[in-house]
Homo-oligomer: A and B are copies of this chain.
Amino acid sequence: MRNAHLDAFLVPMADRFQNEYLPEDQRRIAWLTGFSGSAGYVIITVDQAVLFVDSRYTEQSHQQVDLKEIHINPLRSGAITSWLCSELDMNARIGFDPWLHSINEIKHLKKVGAKKNLNFMSLAQNPIDQMWIDQPKPNGKPAYMLDLSESGVPTFEKIGQLISVLIKRGVDCPALTCDVTASNWLLNMRGYDSPYTPVFFNYTLITETEAVEVFTNLEQVPERIRCTLKEKVIFCDWSEFEASLKKHKKLYLPSEHVPEAIREKCEKNDVFYTLGDDFYSARKAQKNKVEIERMRECHMIDGLAVTRFLYFLQTLTSFDDITELSAAKTLEDFRKKSRQYLSPSFSTISALGEHAALPHYMPSEKTNASLRKDIVYLFDSGGQYTKGTTDITRTIFLGDNPSPLLKKHYTLVLKGHIALARAHFPEGTSGVQLDVLARQFLWKEGLDYGHGTGHGVGYRLNVHEGPQSISPRAQNQPPLVEGVVLSNEPGYYQKGAYGIRLENLMVVEKSLVNQEFLCFDTLSLAPFDRILIDEAILTQDEKEWVNAYHQQVFKTHRDFLSGAEKGWLQHITAPIL
- Segment of A390-398, A444-452, A543-551 engaged in the interface with chain B: A444-452
The CB with the most chain B CB atoms within 10 A, among A433, A447, A448, is that of A433
Which residues 412-443 of A have a CB within 8 angstroms of B? 419, 422-426, 429, 432-437, 440, 443
**Pair B440/A426 contact, Cβ less than 8 Å:** no
**Pair A444/B539 contact, Cβ less than 8 Å:** no
**Min C-beta distance of A534 to chain B, whole Å:** 16
- Segment of A56-64, A114-122, A461-469, A509-517 engaged in the interface with chain B: A509-517
> CB within 8 A of A426: which of B425, B429, B443?
B443
A423-B440, A429-B472, A437-B436 known; A446+B539 contact, CB < 8 A: no
Instruction: List, in ascending order, chain B residues with CB within 8 A of A426's CB.
Output: 443, 448
Cβ contacts A510-541/B at 8 Å (1 or 0 each): 01011001000000000000000000000100
Say yes or no: is A476 at the interface (Cβ < 8 Å to chain B).
Answer: yes
The CB with the most chain B CB atoms within 10 A, among A419, A432, A447, A514, is that of A432
Instruction: List, in ascending order, chain B residues with CB within 8 A of A423's CB.
Output: 440, 443-444
Rounded to whole angstroms, the CA-CA distance of A444 and B437 in the bound complex is: 13
Rounded to whole angstroms, the CA-CA distance of A539 and B538 in the bound complex is: 12
> Chain B: which residue is nearest A439 at the CB level?
B425
Say yes or no: is A475 at the interface (Cβ < 8 Å to chain B).
Answer: yes
A423-B440, A435-B433, A475-B476 known; A447+B539 contact, CB < 8 A: no
Rounded to whole angstroms, the CA-CA distance of A446 and B424 in the bound complex is: 7
> CB within 8 A of A436: which of B436, B513, B517, B539?
B436
Instruction: List, in ascending order, chain B residues with CB within 8 A of A432's CB.
Output: 432-433
Rounded to whole angstroms, the CA-CA distance of A511 and B440 in the bound complex is: 14
> CB within 8 A of A437: which of B440, B475, B514?
B440
> Chain B: which residue is nearest A425 at the CB level?
B443
Instruction: List, in ascending order, chain B residues with CB within 8 A of A511's CB.
Output: 446
Rounded to whole angstroms, the CA-CA distance of A420 and B347 in the bound complex is: 39
**Pair A443/B424 contact, Cβ less than 8 Å:** yes
Which residues 467-505 of A have a CB within 8 angstroms of B? 472, 475-476
Rounded to whole angstroms, the CA-CA distance of A424 and B441 in the bound complex is: 9
> Chain B: which residue is nearest A539 at the CB level?
B539
**Min C-beta distance of A574 to chain B, whole Å:** 25
**Min C-beta distance of A295 to chain B, whole Å:** 25
Rounded to whole angstroms, the CA-CA distance of A328 and B436 in the bound complex is: 38
Instruction: List, in ascending order, chain B residues with CB within 8 A of A446's CB.
Output: 424, 511, 513-514, 517
Instruction: List, in ascending order, chain B residues with CB within 8 A of A440's CB.
Output: 419, 423, 437
**Pair B433/A472 contact, Cβ less than 8 Å:** yes
> CB within 8 A of A433: which of B419, B436, B444, B514?
B436
Rounded to whole angstroms, the CA-CA distance of A433 and B425 in the bound complex is: 14
Instruction: List, in ascending order, chain B residues with CB within 8 A of A437's CB.
Output: 436, 440
Instruction: List, in ascending order, chain B residues with CB within 8 A of A434's CB.
Output: 436
Instruction: List, in ascending order, chain B residues with CB within 8 A of A424's CB.
Output: 443-444, 446
> Chain B: which residue is nearest A512 at the CB level?
B446
> CB within 8 A of A513: which of B422, B429, B445, B476?
B445
A433-B435, A539-B539 known; A514+B447 contact, CB < 8 A: yes
Rounded to whole angstroms, the CA-CA distance of A353 and B476 in the bound complex is: 38
**Min C-beta distance of A279 to chain B, whole Å:** 22
Rounded to whole angstroms, the CA-CA distance of A269 and B264 in the bound complex is: 44
> Chain B: which residue is nearest A477 at the CB level?
B475
15 contacts between A and B (CB under 8 A): A419-B440, A422-B444, A423-B444, A424-B443, A425-B436, A426-B448, A429-B472, A432-B432, A433-B433, A433-B436, A436-B436, A436-B437, A437-B440, A443-B517, A446-B513
The 8 A-B pairs with the shortest beta carbon distances in the complex, nearest first, are: A446-B514, A446-B513, A424-B443, A433-B436, A446-B517, A424-B444, A426-B448, A425-B443
Beyond the given pairs A423-B440, A426-B443, 11 more chain A to chain B contacts, judged by CB atoms under 8 angstroms and listed by A's residue number, are A422-B444, A423-B444, A432-B432, A433-B433, A433-B436, A434-B436, A436-B436, A446-B517, A475-B475, A475-B476, A539-B539
